[in-house]
Structure 1
């Protein structure tokens, strides 16, 4: 009688429990095997496996000398790396004895005299700490941030160094965006990394995206970074370049059922869209590079909309946020195809409530802005012409019926913070 297949979680746990039986080299080999198992896990399995109990179990294995520290850090780095890429929140680590042990190791290594300090070990510990933790970090920030930036500033081109830089930058990008810390701790180094990449293009896609995510996360609590981000480092131009290159690398013709797991390009694209969405609301500066960024998001939406609803849905959020920007002209949204893109999304049969809400908010914002009077007569004429063009588009698409149908989904009005009006005329541009 054939045995039932063993789950990936059980395979992982079995290999972990056998660690004390192996030599240092054998442990490393087993960790490689465990890494392959984790890569194949879906989000639910991964989330269910890595609990407070499992991390406490790892602590016990260390205390019994069943797992060497270097191999422990190798294992934790693999767990943290995949956890961040899979977009999973694991609060079990924060509450575990292992987290306290890692924090203690960081402080103890930092306190050593410089000649006795193991820099490689400190980098590894800091990476594990940032990748596995969620939320705000403690006083270890002042130790870990400079340490990881130093690792990311290495100029060597070999594959191993590039991977080390990628993990260091990914760890930095995971620092909670609501946590404020001094520019002196990171700005000079981050600026150098971005400018070096713009000149040499030698970072991996994930590493470069992570640099920007780290910087935009700091912008969320520090508006003084705006000029550096927009005008010195040209975020809009760089984001356009990365979006367009990643878009070209993905086979958009693959059906959903054919996508066994996300590619590196798909993961990087989703992370870029998150970063852009964090950036737009607090941004007061606006230029042609950022207008072009909106155009690129529309093109990405069109590429993804048939067979990759996760990415196409993510495109809606920055477009809706752009519509609310006073310095983003309605005419630019119209020319970019953003209005057509939102219209197409609202026709989707499987449209979820959250996206429906964002689409309706987009048109409410457009209508409200076009109803505002302009002092300049030329601006007023342009406004009227734009209103007429948008109204004709909306009339052609049968918007009254579409909007009325969404009001039948009552939960939209209660699930989200901002209520939607039940007056259909509020979603139209009355000339």
Structure 2
């Protein structure tokens, strides 16, 4: 499979028009092969030349369009799960054909092929580069079409897979695109609420439904109330993270990690990336945030030795939440977040970029404590919080660590990263 070309890949699945059971088995085989292909092996799989070659084969009737569409949709799905970026498709003749077919099929008054329309929408979005503007006519077709498909509520495996693909494709629509908020908020909210009662979605589909709303918070503050208070975001994400953490093999060997990542680990990574963004932008929280932070702390603890990619995302979640300044410092203390940042900071090497980020965390924490005292708000409570943080400092030897940085700083690159303007006393928590 290392150097397989598009025609050879087609040849492995020569018949997509067999009986339903045979087709299902062949698709399962194809999914298995795609799953075994790592990110780096999938990334160069389709080039602009291969897309255009595919387009020529279709035009000359040498290859059925439905067959090409099915294959491209499956590969696009796996690419999206592996977060493999593809910008090539947006510059191809095939993309233009997809747009024309979408518009023509949607405009039919009779004999409209709903399944073809859904397949076209999914394939088009799964391959589309997320940073490019989408044709407005196509966007107006894709949004209602895929939302309607994602609203299917039975628990059949085939239905769950269809819903999963539709929700994943919807998440490829860039956040800067203007969508019909009245439509998507009503329907995504219904999808999430129905699953909370009936558990009809796959884990990936549920994560994708939440992500669709969460990544739009920075562009629409009104979404916060629905996400946090009506849909109970923190509680639901905490539960999902805990369930996924129980399914991940945290002790896998390095070569096994490179070869094939488990589906649960991929979904866990997607949740953490989404929460990094959401914690930075959401300013409306309730008491359920403690559940969420406890879950992320637990994931950090099991991931810190063998899965630094995941543990660092946990740290980024904490830092973004603190940077946002809407999470109470008492919560950071109670959930063990401050302990974790302390521990990670003193373990860093002097040239590690993480030191800068972690020191900024404590600098901002210091500023917040000082502001509270100057404002005269909750002085007694703030003193208690400061005392506990100071005790943590002493326990971890944090002040000695900062002083040691001052000694070694002239010999390391950290000086340039901090712009030569460090006042080290600022990194000792204000008392």
TM above 0.5, yes or no, is yes
Q: Write out aligned runs for 1:112-151 (5 A).
A: 112-113=108-109, 115-134=110-129, 135=131, 136-139=133-136, 140-151=138-149
Q: Write out aligned runs for 1:14-413 (5 A).
A: 15-16=8-9, 18=11, 22=14, 24-25=16-17, 35-113=31-109, 115-134=110-129, 135=131, 136-139=133-136, 140-259=138-257, 260-348=259-347, 353-374=352-373, 379-400=378-399, 402-403=401-402, 404-405=404-405, 407=409, 409-410=412-413, 413=416
**Deviation for aligned residue 1:402:** 4.2
For residues 176-234 of structure 1, the C-alpha deviation after alignment (integer angstroms, 9 at most, x for no partner) is: 22333231231111111011001101200000000001111222311111111111111
Q: 1:36 to 1:112 in 2, by over 3 A?
A: same
Task: Please report the RMSD computed on the Cα atoms of aligned residues, expressed in angstroms.
Answer: 2.7
Partners of 1:359 and 1:420 in 2: how far apart? 17
Partners of 2:421 and 2:317 in 1: how far apart? 22
Question: Gapped runs of 5+ residues in structure 1?
Answer: 1-7
Partners of 2:101 and 2:54 in 1: how far apart? 16
Partners of 1:409 and 1:100 in 2: how far apart? 52
**Deviation for aligned residue 1:96:** 1.2
Q: 1:299 to 1:33 in 2, by over 3 A?
A: closer
**Deviation for aligned residue 1:421:** 4.8
Q: 1:23 to 1:286 in 2, by over 3 A?
A: closer
327-336 vs 258-267, which moves further:
258-267
**Secondary structure of 2:215's aligned partner:** helix
- Contact (CA 8 Å) 1:291, 1:328: kept in 2 or not? no
**Deviation for aligned residue 1:105:** 1.2
Partners of 2:183 and 2:419 in 1: how far apart? 41
For residues 359-378 of structure 1, the C-alpha deviation after alignment (integer angstroms, 9 at most, x for no partner) is: 22211211111122436767
Q: 1:325 to 1:67 in 2, by over 3 A?
A: same
Q: 1:32 to 1:205 in 2, by over 3 A?
A: closer
Q: 1:165 to 1:354 in 2, by over 3 A?
A: farther
Partners of 1:43 and 1:238 in 2: how far apart? 29
- Contact (CA 8 Å) 1:357, 1:412: kept in 2 or not? no
Partners of 1:264 and 1:52 in 2: how far apart? 29
Count of aligned pairs: 419
103-112 vs 351-360, which moves further:
351-360
Question: Gapped runs of 5+ residues in structure 2?
Answer: none
Q: 1:409 to 1:90 in 2, by over 3 A?
A: farther
Partners of 1:276 and 1:372 in 2: how far apart? 27
Partners of 1:315 and 1:243 in 2: how far apart? 12
Partners of 1:420 and 1:181 in 2: how far apart? 45
**Secondary structure of 2:282's aligned partner:** coil
**Secondary structure of 1:87's aligned partner:** coil
**Deviation for aligned residue 1:110:** 0.6
Partners of 1:39 and 1:179 in 2: how far apart? 31
**Deviation for aligned residue 1:151:** 0.8
**Secondary structure of 2:281's aligned partner:** coil
Partners of 1:309 and 1:174 in 2: how far apart? 27
**Deviation for aligned residue 1:17:** 6.7
Q: 1:82 to 1:191 in 2, by over 3 A?
A: same
Partners of 1:351 and 1:160 in 2: how far apart? 52
2:422 equivalent in structure 1: 422
Partners of 1:109 and 1:325 in 2: how far apart? 46
For residues 117-159 of structure 1, the C-alpha deviation after alignment (integer angstroms, 9 at most, x for no partner) is: 1000000000011111112322111110110111111122211
Partners of 1:238 and 1:413 in 2: how far apart? 42
Partners of 2:298 and 2:347 in 1: how far apart? 17
**Deviation for aligned residue 1:391:** 2.3
- Contact (CA 8 Å) 1:174, 1:214: kept in 2 or not? no
Q: Normalising by the residue count of structure 1, what TM-score does the alignment of the two structures yield?
A: 0.89
**Deviation for aligned residue 1:88:** 1.4
Partners of 1:14 and 1:243 in 2: how far apart? 40
**Deviation for aligned residue 1:61:** 2.0
- Contact (CA 8 Å) 1:250, 1:266: kept in 2 or not? yes
393-402 vs 83-92, which moves further:
393-402
**Secondary structure of 1:429's aligned partner:** coil
- Contact (CA 8 Å) 1:148, 1:168: kept in 2 or not? yes
Partners of 2:425 and 2:36 in 1: how far apart? 50
Partners of 1:357 and 1:221 in 2: how far apart? 29
